[in-house]
Structure 1
């Protein structure tokens, strides 16, 4: 077998040429774990193993060019690289330290780190319609169910929903966020920051607004996750923003995506009482441990690290954090022992006695910011670019 030193490396430009893609797509492949970027000594360039690029080239469908498949989506919105997360070139750790989530939303939508001048609001007639629809839901409806109903009804009520200009989408963004906040609690605050208005829907505990603001920023975008791809495919058909967010909310409603924090919450409930017993039971039943491991990150989920580090300053988080520390020390491999953002959300929920599905609601509201950014970006691409074409039958 060839030694590591025998490997040949390609530059970003050479990889793009070999795969017949744009240079920006190379970094999209890195974000999705399809390519591994090898650090250089001066950190000014990037290189990639030629054998890895060759395997990827062989696996691509003949005739797949820069359009038509999910793997070929390029985005400037976020990047996952070397176990770090960036929004438009800004490390998310730097953003949470210096900026509110409203400014981060503006960065995702417009590229500018500025705070919107106005509150996120919705016209009274839209709020009246969404409140009536949400009120009709049965008592067992989850928080995420309330969000999906509210977004769909708001879209049906807004007569300007097909204004797909950047200005129109930003107007709709304000309505969407107001409607989502309103749907989560019967008496929502009508003013304040996103975190201030969301907190009462999650818990009766005294508010920790900086912490929730941090969580919203950490969850705002994460590359081409399945819900984001759903939003982009809808946007490629020029579906209005209510529809793209509805498509994303539908894709989010699964055990592998939006529901993962609820599974992690249940697992952590058992682990707080008996960590090894909780692991033993999961191993007996089969399947992965909820809240551990990640498809992209190799050593650490930076979002989980930031949230768990912040929780360590809060005494009420000690039982959950002790359980997580015990689990990490007992699990066999570094990848399996990697706590992800779903487990960190579960720890947040336990710290403030939030309902088990609160993580799904936080996730959905925060990721709405990213879905809208991807909707705006997709509107600049050729329409219907994901429509598959059938090969012509032989004559």
Structure 2
């Protein structure tokens, strides 16, 4: 159910089936830009320091949640902080998330991600993925982050809200369902249409295909799938889905295919997604704070009839 609330934003938008970051085509940017360069575009200023933290002993999404919770407990409210100071705060939050997700290391985000995942040869593919996933208008996790900081809470608190929302199976870990489907058909790619019909026959939606913002196909997925050798099972799944449901792959499919193409761990899609999207959350949170407004939607009541208050009767008047 898409619709209200609609918030004004100058950060990103989807128009005519294309994603734009501050007016620039995200797919075009992904061909040459680094995540750090996209941060400068989205935040209106550079990321202060190179990624060079000590990292977590057990890096991953769980460590990122813990790091943000700890940082939230010690961070000052965002209310009244200048744009310059907010950018400093944003850099601190981003580095904390990167350190928790990737462990010890230094260098640009995509190189550090490639080293963490044990695939240095895939660094450029990861660079593309990070840029394509940096922001996506007012999605669920971004809205959660904006709502949080609209109360004056810290950027760390907003990022914690965003990461919690990203952990949902309908958002940041949707690729896991694609992985499950792909592994179901992996032993016999020739039987993919049968497997897909069985999946549909069980009342399950085929994951990794379709996106309401992109009726003619998710450009992020199309671009990312061109950057690596897509495994045979995924190619068969693409053909079968086109024949049976007529939908195009979305970025969740592309992340799952990337994971299997390079033999990455199952939490790799969420790690990539969280590292990239943290930059978008931080851009949106700074924009929200600078607007000096609280997000307080109204509810459309659909409960039992109201017992209307009668002031005269309550006072005992005839």
Whether TM-score is above 0.5 comes out as yes
Give the alignment partner of residue 30 of structure 2, picking from 82, 96, 101: 96
1:200 and 2:131 correspond: no
1:179-198 to 2 correspondences below 5 Å: 179-185=96-102, 187-189=103-105, 191-198=106-113
Q: Give the drift of 1:246.
A: 0.6
**1:255-291 alpha-carbon deviations (Å, 9 max, x no partner):** 1111101111111222333322431231122121010
SS at match of 1:85: strand
Give the stretch that moved more between structures: 356-365 or 172-181.
172-181
Q: Which residue of 2 aligns with 1:369?
A: 279
Give the alignment partner of residue 288 of structure 1, picking from 200, 205, 220: 205
Q: Tell whether the 8 Å contact from 2:42 to 2:283 is kept in structure 1 after alignment.
A: yes
Q: Tell whether the 8 Å contact from 1:231 to 1:247 is kept in structure 2 after alignment.
A: yes
Q: Tell whether the 8 Å contact from 1:188 to 1:200 is kept in structure 2 after alignment.
A: no
Q: Which residue of 2 aligns with 1:225?
A: 139
SS at match of 1:99: coil
Query: Structure 1 residues 385, 116: closer, same or farther in 2, change over 3 A?
Result: closer
Query: Structure 1 residues 364, 330: closer, same or farther in 2, change over 3 A?
Result: same
Q: RMSD in angstroms over aligned alpha carbons?
A: 2.8
Q: Which residue of 2 aligns with 1:175?
A: 92
Q: Tell whether the 8 Å contact from 1:261 to 1:345 is kept in structure 2 after alignment.
A: yes
Cα distance in 2 between the residues matched to 1:390 and 1:300 = 33
Q: Tell whether the 8 Å contact from 2:47 to 2:91 is kept in structure 1 after alignment.
A: no
Give the alignment partner of residue 42 of structure 2, picking from 69, 87, 108: 108
Q: Give the drift of 1:390.
A: 11
Q: For structure 1, which runs of at least 5 residues remain unmatched after alignment?
A: 1-31, 35-69, 136-141
Q: Tell whether the 8 Å contact from 2:64 to 2:101 is kept in structure 1 after alignment.
A: yes
Q: Which residue of 2 aligns with 1:276?
A: 193
Q: Which residue of 2 aligns with 1:151?
A: 68
Query: Structure 1 residues 157, 309: closer, same or farther in 2, change over 3 A?
Result: same
Query: Structure 1 residues 205, 278: closer, same or farther in 2, change over 3 A?
Result: farther
**1:226-258 alpha-carbon deviations (Å, 9 max, x no partner):** 111111111110111000001111111211111
Cα distance in 2 between the residues matched to 1:249 and 1:117 = 22
How many correspondences in the alignment? 302
1:257 and 2:171 correspond: yes
Q: Give the drift of 1:205.
A: 3.1
Cα distance in 2 between the residues matched to 1:106 and 1:172 = 14
Q: Which residue of 1 aligns with 2:316?
A: none
- Higher RCO (Cα < 8 Å, 6 or more apart): 2
Q: Which residue of 2 aligns with 1:26?
A: none
Cα distance in 2 between the residues matched to 1:121 and 1:164 = 26
Q: Tell whether the 8 Å contact from 2:218 to 2:249 is kept in structure 1 after alignment.
A: yes
Q: Tell whether the 8 Å contact from 2:68 to 2:97 is kept in structure 1 after alignment.
A: yes
1:268-347 to 2 correspondences below 5 Å: 268-273=182-187, 274=189, 275-311=192-228, 314=229, 317-333=230-246, 337-347=247-257
SS at match of 2:65: helix
Q: Tell whether the 8 Å contact from 2:113 to 2:123 is kept in structure 1 after alignment.
A: no
Q: Which residue of 1 aligns with 2:81?
A: 164
Q: Which residue of 1 aligns with 2:50?
A: 119
Query: Structure 1 residues 393, 328: closer, same or farther in 2, change over 3 A?
Result: same
Q: Give the drift of 1:117.
A: 5.8
Q: Give the drift of 1:366.
A: 0.6
Q: Give the drift of 1:318.
A: 3.5
TM-score, reference length from structure 2? 0.85
Q: For structure 2, which runs of at least 5 residues remain unmatched after alignment?
A: 302-307, 312-318
Q: Tell whether the 8 Å contact from 2:133 to 2:276 is kept in structure 1 after alignment.
A: yes
Cα distance in 2 between the residues matched to 1:166 and 1:178 = 18
**1:135-182 alpha-carbon deviations (Å, 9 max, x no partner):** 6xxxxxx93222111111123245697773222222222222222222
Cα distance in 1 between the residues matched to 2:179 and 2:287 = 34
SS at match of 1:305: helix
Q: Tell whether the 8 Å contact from 2:76 to 2:154 is kept in structure 1 after alignment.
A: no
